[in-house]
Chains A and B, each alone.
Chain A
Amino acid sequence: MKRFYHRAIKDILENRFLTAVTVITIALSIMIAAAFALFFINAGDILNLWQKGIRMMVYLKPGTSEAGRLDTKYKLQNISSVQAARFISSQEAMEKLKGQMAHHAALLDNLNENPLPDAFELSLQPSAQKSAELSFLAERIAALGTVAEVEYGQQWINRFTGIINLFRLAGYGIGALFFMATVFIVANTIRLVLYSRRDEIEIMRLVGATDRFIRIPFYLQGMIQGGAGTLIGLVVLFGGYFSLTSQFDQGLSGDFISLRFFTPLASAGIVAGGTCVGWLGSWVSLKQFMKT
């Protein structure tokens, strides 16, 4: 095996320019594809974070009696997705609103009657915090006779989830394109090397070299190019991530949103994936070439 590595490294050094172009192109491809993946991971984290903080507001119809309110509370608490139901009277809601409006609270003093309804604030079980579950739960609660309206920021979450999904789809498409491009680039590099060395390969065959003996150094070459390109791409991406998070931490959002990079295991997996793509490129090239 050592001599195969030796031959692969020698080939790489003899074709420095070609190898450099290939490695840089792979690095760029991986960088773009990995940047998309990183975006999904962090956007997903943010979405999860927001969803975990979701409170569902259940507004009661005007004139709901004390008995109706108690009955509604009982029914809400019996729903398995509901962790707790806290009653917020219209007076309490008004006090809270005044507190939030601070300097403009005087505007509310001129109201003849309190326009805010009585409500229940529901905190939910983690299993119910997915968008589809929320929608189902809201419909179920809205069907109760005393309930006027249910609010939980549905439209906003749906829109955000929609955007994430759109990006995810685009990411899959881009990932597939870059995968094919990387295989194509490695295949062509190896093909050029093969053509430049076809006399040598022919001589090797004449002296009794097996196809395996001829192929292995080229497989190694493809794998080295794929692995090195991926590693460089990830390192550059990490540099970009590091500089972005340094600025982010100084900003307002630092306390709420914590961006993260790929774990060491995931990074190793990506490099291994790039190495496999390099091998695949070599395999494609050799499959065609060795038939001749």
Chain B
Amino acid sequence: MTDVDSNAIIRMFHVNKRYGAKFALHDLTLDIHKNEYLFITGPSGAGKTTLLKLLYLGQPLTEGQILVDGINISRINRNGIPLLRRKFGIIFQDYKLIPTKSVYENVALVLEAAGRKPRLIEKKVRSVLRTVGMEDRMKSLPLSLSGGEQQRVAVARAVVGDPKIILADEPTGSLDRESAGIIMAYLDEFHSRGATVVLATHDKELIKKSDARVVQLRDGGLSSGPPL
């Protein structure tokens, strides 16, 4: 392994991910620092989503090592995966809300799964829904909401457990400019509260508006070429 970086919350060492014979990620080494705001960009198929999935063990890595908050995730057994995932708040392009559960229930699920007490759950969920401007819609079902509103609920769900790291996979990919701006503003706010934000996107406009570090992937590896 390489030198110790006490400020890194995520460390990736020579990570390979193969699907059959094809490399999705190839010899990737990357540090992400505490409270950093990092964009991961690159063309479709560059490995952005795969990178995020490896972090929360949505996919097993093929080779290499990944440390998340000091834990080597390749050594985590099945029972340890939920605890790893509670370190993350994950936002997906397709929201991944449960259609049969209300806005409140979708957000509360994270805290219920973590075994929090009902009173605390209610307090936290209301608070976070208020922050994203969805408190008045908390009894609604996700399918009755617009795309922007659904993504705000997804942001609320991602942050309700006070995760150390927020992973966002194309969070504005399905949204119009105005809704995208709102989501980015919420992510900025949670970043300012201390969370590390790792955002995968190929939206150049979003990146241009930010002074955050940008990591570019191309064909599964870090690209030193010009920005896309």
Q: Which residues of A does B touch, CB under 8 Å?
A: 3, 14, 199-200, 203-211, 213
In the complex, what residues of A have CB within 8 A of residue B110's CB? 207-208
Tally of contacts, chain A with chain B, CB under 8 A: 46
Whole-angstrom distance between the Cβ of B55 and the nearest chain A Cβ: 12
Please classify the interface of chain A as helix (H, G, I), strand (E, B), loop, or mixed, using the class held by over half of its residues.
helix
When C-beta atoms are compared, the residue in chain A nearest to B157 turns out to be A207
| In-complex Cβ contact of B96 among A14, A203, A210, A211 (8 A) | A203
Is B153 an interface residue when CB atoms closer than 8 A count as contact? no
* Alpha-carbon distance between A3 and B116 when the two chains are bound, in angstroms: 12
Q: Name the residue among B85, B98, B157 with the largest chain A CB count within 10 angstroms.
A: B98
In the complex, what residues of A have CB within 8 A of residue B85's CB? 205-208
Is B189 an interface residue when CB atoms closer than 8 A count as contact? no
* Alpha-carbon distance between A209 and B78 when the two chains are bound, in angstroms: 12
Given contacts A203-B109, A206-B85, 18 further A-B contacts (CB under 8 A): A14-B100, A199-B98, A200-B101, A206-B56, A206-B58, A206-B90, A206-B96, A207-B109, A207-B113, A207-B157, A207-B161, A208-B161, A209-B82, A209-B109, A209-B113, A210-B79, A210-B82, A213-B113
Tell whether, in the assembled complex, residue A205 and residue B96 are in contact, meaning their CB atoms are under 8 Å apart.
no
In the complex, what residues of B have CB within 8 A of residue A14's CB? 100
Is B212 an interface residue when CB atoms closer than 8 A count as contact? no
Q: Which residues of B does A touch, CB under 8 Å?
A: 56, 58, 78-79, 81-83, 85-86, 90, 96-98, 100-101, 109-110, 112-114, 118, 157, 161
In the complex, what residues of B have CB within 8 A of residue A213's CB? 112-113
* Alpha-carbon distance between A57 and B78 when the two chains are bound, in angstroms: 75
When C-beta atoms are compared, the residue in chain B nearest to A206 turns out to be B90
The 10 closest A-B pairs by CB, nearest first: A209-B113, A208-B86, A208-B85, A210-B82, A207-B110, A208-B82, A200-B98, A203-B96, A213-B113, A208-B113
A sample of 25 inter-chain contacts (CB < 8 A) reads A3-B112, A200-B100, A203-B96, A203-B98, A204-B109, A205-B81, A205-B85, A206-B58, A206-B90, A206-B96, A207-B85, A207-B90, A207-B109, A207-B110, A207-B157, A208-B83, A208-B85, A208-B110, A208-B113, A208-B161, A209-B113, A210-B79, A210-B113, A211-B79, A213-B113
* Alpha-carbon distance between A200 and B101 when the two chains are bound, in angstroms: 10
Whole-angstrom distance between the Cβ of B140 and the nearest chain A Cβ: 17
* Alpha-carbon distance between A210 and B157 when the two chains are bound, in angstroms: 17
